Amino acid sequence: MTPGSRTPPVVVPRLAVSVLMVRGDVPNLEVFVQNRTSTMDFAAGMVVFPGGRVDEVDHAAARTWRVSPDLLERHARCWTETSIAVGSRAELLVSAEVLLAAAVREVEEETGAVLSVGDLIPWANWITPTGYSKRFDTFFYLTVLAEFLDPQHRTTEADSSHWAPVRGLLRGAAEGRLEMMRPTTVLLQELARHPGTWAAERRISPVGSL
């Protein structure tokens, strides 16, 4: 560091959610993905799952919901090691409900599909490394999409949205035809080798640090 220079401030990650909507059976599992536009200031041109940051509207929505206490307890157990567990147990339950509200909202806004909170399974937590101008503390959910739901392309943040074979996406990334951030690649790899028993409760450890 040169004399008089300052260490750049560390950007605090914003809470965000992302949802892996899957259908079919392993090894022919498909997942709904978006191809981000090249003009975006974050993850430009990347293959991503639907999602986005947690907003104030999600806090307001959570206050009016009637989510099952048992469901919130299950989710709280999954998120115990994450950033939303720094306060009291009651605060953790509220945060878990806010994340659910954000996940449902983002998927509906971006795809038109209205998810049931009971079908959202806590899946992973990734934090953008330091050094980025935008950082996110992203909580990932998985849901096996109900047959009557038909997600569509409805977001201006992506050029296209569609179902794609998990293994085909990984092959495209390996061949350099598709660009993905590391969390997307790792989660797809996990799906590709998963036995397909989705209901098991997961104890989730964050990947990355605040």
105-132 pLDDT, tens digit per residue, is 999 999 999 999 999 999 999 999 988 8
How confident is the model at residue 131, as a pLDDT?
86
Report the candidate in 97, 32, 107 with the shortest Cα–Cα distance to residue 66.
97
Model pLDDT, residue 136: 95
Bridge partners, 162 (sequence order): 33
Question: For residues 146 and 158, is the Cβ–Cβ distance under 8 A?
Answer: no
Q: What are the phi and psi torsion angles at 58 (to 5°)?
A: -75, -35
pLDDT given for residue 40 in this prediction: 72
Give me the pLDDT at residue 198, please. Answer: 82
Kindly give, in sequence order, each residue whose CB lies less than 8 Å from that of residue 168, ignoring residues fewer than 6 positions away.
none
| Regions of the chain where pLDDT drops below 70 | 1-8, 43-44
HEC readout, the chain: CCCCCCCCCCCCCEEEEEEEEEECCCCCCEEEEEEECCCCCCCCCCEECCEEECCHHHHHHHHHCCCCHHHHHHHHHHCCCCHHHCCCHHHHHHHHHHHHHHHHHHHHHHHCCCCCHHHCEEEEEEECCCCCCCCEEEEEEEEECCCCCCCCCCCCCEEEEEEEEHHHHHHHHHCCCCCCCHHHHHHHHHHHHCCCCCCCCCCCCCECCC
The neighbour count for residue 96, using CB atoms within 10 Å, is 26
Q: Would you state the pLDDT for residue 1?
A: 47
Which structural domains are found in the chain, ordered by start? Answer: 14-53+106-193 (3.90.79.10)
